[in-house]
Amino acid sequence: MKFTLKDYQEEAVREVLVNLKKASRRWREDGDKHAFSLTATTGAGKTVMAAAVFEALFHGDDNYDIEPDPGAVVIWFSDDPSLNEQSRFRLLEASD
């Protein structure tokens, strides 16, 4: 991660990763599907937080107590091409 996350961003990333672990465990146990979202006000750094989640998901992170999952897949949904490009740029800017 090229940026230092603010405290509220760290907490949001931690919560997303906890929810991902729970959803994965429940899927393996009983096939239940789960959904959740990362929601924050404009300018809060959602894309940077998402980059931190992606890095932890793919590469693992001791700070978040998560093992790497090289088979993970991320799908980014947006219906706005300019927002897609902005998000792509920001993800690349934030990620190692």
∠ CA 93-72-24, nearest 5°, is 125
CA torsion through residues 80, 55, 59, 7, sign: negative
**Paired residues of 10 in beta bridges:** none
pLDDT in tens, the chain (96 residues): 999 999 999 999 999 999 999 988 898 899 888 887 888 999 999 999 999 999 999 999 999 999 999 888 888 888 899 989 999 999 999 998
pTM: 0.88
Q: Which residues contact 21 (CB under 8 A, 6 or more apart)?
A: 66
CB atoms within 10 A of CB 95: 16
